[in-house]
Structure 1
Amino acid sequence: MRLRTLLRSSSAVVLAPLLAGLVVLLLRADGTLHPVPGYGLSVLTAAHSALPYIAAACAGSAAWEGGRLKQGRVFEQAPARGRLGIALPVLAPVWLMGLGGYAVALVMAAVAADGTAPDLSRPPIPAVAALLLLAATLTGYLAGLVLPRLAAGPVALVGAFWVMAFPASWQTPWPRHLVGNPITGCCGVGQAVAPDTLWAAGIFTAAACAAALLTAHRATVGTAVTAVAVLALGTTLAAGFGQRMGYDGTVPRAAAELACDASARPRVCLWPETPGRTAVVAQIRTETGRLGAAGVPVPAALTQDPAGGPDTGVLGRTGELSPEEVTRTTAAALLPAPLGCEQPAREPLLGWLTAVATGEPPSDARVRAVLEQPRAAQSEWFRAGRDSLTDCGRSGVR
């Protein structure tokens, strides 16, 4: 079939502008997209929120094409070409329509991130998206061969949307990884997509595509059994990766991507997308200087990397930070990490650190009483309280 004839007769040509418009309308809604400005990976993953709708369009269109080939008895008229040789050129525009819809979603995500381009240097993520759309196209085509023509399109459309969207609401966590749902929930500043999530989605969709191609190639009992075996094996392998992740599909971001300022002590490492990073570093240095003068041990470095390191305090908050949040985060970084038990000393210590760092009077009467004591007594009080945070059996500050 000539390209001009193929495009003129394909339902994907009619659906493509409608799909693009739908993606734009969906992603323009307030609260739909939350990419981090400046973080290309966040833009890339935000576009995945449109995939259930795009996959549904691919499945519905492919089902229509499969039904049209079946009704026209095309396979009987050109037996020398083979069933796949006939089907794949017809399905190519459908898959390309889906990729076009995904490209529109990427543009919308970039606009929502103040013009930040998606990070296409991470090919596994768009590759998973392309495989998901290919699987939806091939399974929709099979539905068109099996179901009545008028029913095939709606059934494939609704079925593809259900498979893509609904696992995220199930209590069992691993199925959501098979269709890439957790990718949409990534990535805030300091987060990256978990490799296990990408492996789960990639293996499952590749197995689904292989099973669909086997079935479409030759509708015999042998190929059907082989297709089921391939799909079962792929699902088992993919589920193994998904079960290791639980509900979440993110991992901490690589520390090598931090932007560090070592021009003075302490060395401050923040994620490069942190708004007002220069002002945040200056405020941290000013406040840690006051705390050091008050006898508070200040580590050599403060970082947003949760792994921390030797003589390094962890700044637990990421993203946009108000001056109050910077102070609170810096104060928390100077204390031992929570142990998971009740620690009544933590809040008074944070209040004292905040008051010393900012020079503003605290609201806690206990902290005000401590500040009225001599500097040496305050330092002793702080050391005793900080030491109590390292042992759940210690009583804490007096």
Structure 2
Amino acid sequence: MGRASAVRLRALDGLRGTCSVLIALAHLEMTGYVGFGGWLTRGHVLVDVFFVLSGFVIALVYADRLGDAAGSAAFLVRRLGRVWPLHAAVLTLFVGAELAKMVAAAGFGYVPHFAPFTGQRPLDTLLPNLLLIHVFDTEADLTWNFPSWSMAAEFWVYGVFAAVVVPTVGRPRLRLVLAALLCAAGGLTVAALSPHRMDATYDFGVPRCLYGFFAGMLLAAFWRAHGHRVPGGTVAEVAALAIAAAFVALSPGTAFEFAAPAVYVVLIAVLAREAGLPSRLLRTAPFQTLGRLSYSIYLLHALVVTSVVPRIAAAVIALAPGRPAVAMVAIPVLYVALVALLASATRRFVELPGRRLFEGLAARAARGTGPSTAGAAVEG
């Protein structure tokens, strides 16, 4: 991966994987099948970790690589190849689930909670989802694969990133000013206009992503110049993780939730030093595996929650009636194991082939540009 590999920070890969599992567990708790004391039920602020991480990593990799329009086009094609193939595949699985529901209702007397292609899965919302425009308030709620709003928002913000980077080549101060203005504009828009505060998704998801992504870009600029000054070591990492955990547990529903990017900027900066025990743990094989599977885990878990978990829960309860403690352990373990298993398959058979296909398209788009724009890849 050339220069991209030079900025790979393995502790942050582990952090990304951990957060994807926590979000999957949050949606499990929200469905009522298990409870974790309630601290994850409003864990929507966890999503902002991904925005800040992406802004940080992508700015480190690409801020000095996008020199012209062709390089930007290659970058956007490459990023589309990172996010869209799996998104399209999971949407296809959702459609398959609705078709299966239709067949079961017509032929076997099955009575679903929602009729096929109703509720959050009407047919007329499928195309906006497929085109990644469902994050522009096209509907009055999340539809189909509800976590995909953040992926769609991030893709459009990649375009804003390219629009900032290309005109500011050789003008780093102007680039930082623009990044700061976009960060502030995103945050202020969400604070002033979002009816759901920082739980902005289908309506103000793009400004929310701007807020976090460009906070990450600002961190990348600071990191390049002063990363060695960031406190490191076990004490600093434990403190940063404790603050982030307390923030996730306590801030939702309060004005403090608007501080999400700032909290995660500190966490990412400290963990990126990779100088303490927590970051060492995040670099171990299990967390690195979760990091590699994080995007598939994130996009797949909603399908498993809605279509498979009810069957898992029914089986567990039938096998251990009157033993809620067994269900509290068995359901999340089986759920996470199944999501991880499916994620490993979709990464191998959808993500990686899709990425290779779009890499070829990106190479065509990059013809005539310098070698620094070709062949870059990041997991974020």
Report the TM-score when normalising by structure 1. 0.27
Bigger strand share: 1
Higher RCO, Cα 8 Å, sep 6+: 2
- Which is higher, the Rg of structure 1 or of structure 2? 1
Report the TM-score when normalising by structure 2. 0.28
